[in-house]
Amino acid sequence: MSKEPLIHQRRRPLTSTELASIPWLCKLQPSEQERAIEDLRVSEIPIGETICRIGRPVTYWFGVIDGLLKMSSDNAEGQTMTFTGVPPGGWFGEGTAIKRETYRYNIQALRKSRVAGLHVDTFHWLLDHSIGFNRFVMNQLNERLGQFIAAREIDRMTNPNIRVARTLAAIFNPVLYPGLGTVLRITQQELAYLVGLSRQRVNEALAVLSAQEAIAVEYGGLRVVSLQKLRDYRGW
Angle at CA 91, nearest 5°, toward 84 and 178? 85
**What pLDDT is stored for residue 144 in this prediction?**
84
The model's pLDDT over 132-191, given as tens digits with 9 standing for 90+, comes to: 999 999 999 988 888 777 767 766 767 899 999 999 998 998 889 887 888 999 999 999
Pairwise CA distance, residues 62 & 90, whole Å: 9
Angle at CA 53, nearest 5°, toward 49 and 57? 130
Q: Which is higher by pLDDT, 1 or 12?
A: 12
Can you tell me the mean pLDDT for 116-134? 97
Share of the chain above pLDDT 90, in %: 69
Phi-psi map region of 133: left, alpha, beta (phi>0 left; psi -120 to 50 alpha)? alpha
Q: How confident is the model at residue 81 (pLDDT cuts 50, 70, 90)?
A: confident
Pairwise CA distance, residues 172 & 165, whole Å: 11
Backbone angles phi, psi at 5, to 5 degrees: -65, 155
pLDDT at 77 over 80: no
Pairwise CA distance, residues 150 & 79, whole Å: 18
**What pLDDT is stored for residue 129 in this prediction?**
97
Phi-psi map region of 218: left, alpha, beta (phi>0 left; psi -120 to 50 alpha)? beta
pLDDT at 236 over 80: no
Task: Provide the β-strand partners of residue 60.
Answer: 119
Pairwise CA distance, residues 230 & 206, whole Å: 11
Can you tell me the mean pLDDT for 18-40? 97
